[in-house]
Structure 1
Amino acid sequence: MGIAGIYRVDSPEEAITVANNCEYGLAAAIFTRDLTLARNMASQLESGMCHINSATIKDDPSMPFGGLKSSGYGRFGSEACVDEFTEVRWITVAPP
């Protein structure tokens, strides 16, 4: 069982500031009829995932999963895990 805080804010900008001041950043959710505003806000939120008009409890194996800040490092799932868990290197071999 978890506890969720609800904060009253006066503007979308203040909502972004309050959300980004959190130590964690796994997932965020924005509920609004204004999808242009929601997309703009989502691009500014410091979270690994952001769901518009949907709950934060969502998983899709074809999408990268992971958070920011104290919510973890890196992504797993989908092709994103290849970049997260591998190191690209260039190695050449000259004939002896």
Structure 2
Amino acid sequence: MTTPSESHPRHRLDDLLHAPIRFSIIATLGGADNAEFSFVRDTIEVSDSVLSKQVSTLEAAGYVKVKKGYVGKRPRTWLSLTPSGRAAFEKHLEALREIANS
């Protein structure tokens, strides 16, 4: 039997996405097929090391794909949402909307 507290939308919030920096990363990637590491870093206003650590956490969860390559001779890193990352973000947003509208 479901208790009233278990039916509250907050139980559907994703703990990984609840952290402001990880939420910002996912939100930034949600609007594009992929984005350069530097673009995401500058958009969410964090250092390389902070972004790298949080991207590693999201990658380990299967939410973000990291692709490394070169543009000319310069190394580049591109980030993109995986299908499960996009689905998790949508579910998280839906729960937030339910909370805000209740």
Shorter-chain TM range is under 0.3
Name the TM-score, length of structure 1 as normaliser: 0.25
TM-score normalised by the chain length of structure 2: 0.24
Higher strand share: 2
Larger Rg: 1
Larger helix proportion, structure 1 or 2? 2
If asked which structure has higher relative contact order (CA below 8 Å, sep 6+), I would say 2
